[in-house]
Amino acid sequence: MKNPMIEVKDFRKAYGNTVAVDGISFTAKQGEIFGLLGPNGAGKTSTLECLEGLRAPSGGSLRVVGLDPASEFHNLRNLIGVQLQSSGLPESITPDEAMKFFCAYHSVSPRFDLLERLGLAEKRKAQFYELSTGQQRRLSLALAVAHNPQALFLDEPTAGLDVATRVELHGMMRELQSAGTTIILATHDMAEAEEMSDRVAILLKGKIVSIGTPMEITATGAGLTKISVRTQDSSLSVPGVAFPAVSQHIFKDDYNIYFSSDIGPTVSAIIAHISDKGDTLIDLRVERPSLEDRFLEITNTGVAQ
């Protein structure tokens, strides 16, 4: 069994009378990508900042790569990499200078190859304020991984990135994972969390309301399957047409969309209906609930089922 690289136990963080995080616990193993999800104000950033040693926890215990971030930060700083939500670099620094500067403080050789890989080759001499938001975030990411950290904290890493860079970033995350780096990924992008994370925790009002693999989390919801159907003559759009196990029906963009608790009888009945009416099936899609569906379900109801 791989070692836990991140251990959070009964962690609590309060700012005055406001409790941002209220007694959460989780672990992340070596080489695991762990997603932290939640709406704004759920406590994700507070959790990350305490794990990164930027803030002291109000209660509970935190261990990162076996060290206490609050009291052993000096030893921890070379073992972790952090991409902050705001890029946080001086506006006149160039990517080349930033790479030399931060690598020097980590006592490693500058990794200019990362700048090229992340599409910053032509901007190496540009000042930070001249870079686009996406380029600033890519630079921030390159700096976070340049010293080969054992644990990497990514706060909204793909916000503002184009598709190609996003794919490159995901590839880089997989490589780091293969090399044994533990990644804590805080994101609003559910598709990214579902694709990249081995496990996720959903935070709501400072508490973890659901934790597990994306598959486990989606499986614990209401379990409705989405069936989208489009036909030639719109025979499904006639009022009064109903199918077994369907709890909700909507019509959108020429598609009849059914949410079914039992797809077998529903799909059979739909196909039989189309055949009976002499209509022609153009498209039929059956989709399991996504992490986003489950996330919305949890955040709307406020509880995990």
Partner 1 sequence: MNAFIHHFSFEFRAGIRNKQLLLMNYLFPLGFYLMMGFIMAEINPLFREDIIPAMIVFGILAATLLGIPDPLVNARENGVFRSYKINGVPSISILVIPALTTILHLVIVAVLITVTAPLLFDAPSPVNWLNFALIFIAMAFACAGLSVLIGVVSPSSRMTVLWSQLIFVPSMLLGGLMLPYSMLPAVAGKFAQLLPATQAMNAFNGLAMGKVAAFSPWGSVVMLLVSGALAFGLAVYLFSWDSRNTARRGHPLLALLVLLPYVVGIFLFS
- Name the site residues for partner 1 (rule: CB under 8 A): 15-16, 52-56, 74, 77-78, 80, 82, 84, 86-93, 97, 100-102, 104-107, 127, 143
Instruction: Provide the minimum distance between the beta carbon of 280 and partner 1 in the complex, in angstroms, as a whole number.
Output: 58
Question: Which segments of 77-111 does DSSP mark as H helices, in order?
Answer: 95-105
Which of 269-303 are b and which e, b meaning 16 or more Cβ less than 10 Å from the residue's Cβ? bbeebbeeeeeeeeeeeeeebebebbbebbbeeee
Q: Are strands 207-212 and 225-231 parallel, antiparallel or unpaired?
A: unpaired
104 vs 272, beta carbon nearer partner 1: 104
At residue 238, what is the residue type? V
Tell me, what DSSP letter sits at residue 238?
S
Instruction: Provide the minimum distance between the beta carbon of 138 and partner 1 in the complex, in angstroms, as a whole number.
Output: 15
**Contact criterion met (CB below 8 Å) for 214 and 197:** yes
79 vs 211, beta carbon nearer partner 1: 79
Instruction: Provide the minimum distance between the beta carbon of 13 and partner 1 in the complex, in angstroms, as a whole number.
Output: 12
Instruction: Provide the minimum distance between the beta carbon of 102 and partner 1 in the complex, in angstroms, as a whole number.
Output: 5
90 vs 244, beta carbon nearer partner 1: 90
Instruction: Provide the minimum distance between the beta carbon of 193 and partner 1 in the complex, in angstroms, as a whole number.
Output: 23
Write out the E strands in the chain.
Answer: 4-15, 18-29, 33-37, 59-64, 80-83, 151-155, 182-186, 199-204, 207-212, 225-231, 246-252, 255-260, 281-287
Instruction: Provide the minimum distance between the beta carbon of 93 and partner 1 in the complex, in angstroms, as a whole number.
Output: 6
Q: 3-state DSSP call for residue 282?
A: strand
Burial class (CB in 10 A: 0-12, 13-18, 19+), 264: exposed
100 vs 205, beta carbon nearer partner 1: 100
Instruction: Provide the minimum distance between the beta carbon of 80 and partner 1 in the complex, in angstroms, as a whole number.
Output: 8
**Contact criterion met (CB below 8 Å) for 134 and 108:** no
Distance CA 112, CA 185 (A): 24
Instruction: Provide the minimum distance between the beta carbon of 150 and partner 1 in the complex, in angstroms, as a whole number.
Output: 14
71 vs 301, beta carbon nearer partner 1: 71
- How big, in percent rounded to 5, are the helix, strand and coil portions of the chain? 35, 30, 35
13 vs 294, beta carbon nearer partner 1: 13
Distance CA 194, CA 289 (A): 12
151 vs 190, beta carbon nearer partner 1: 151
88 vs 171, beta carbon nearer partner 1: 88
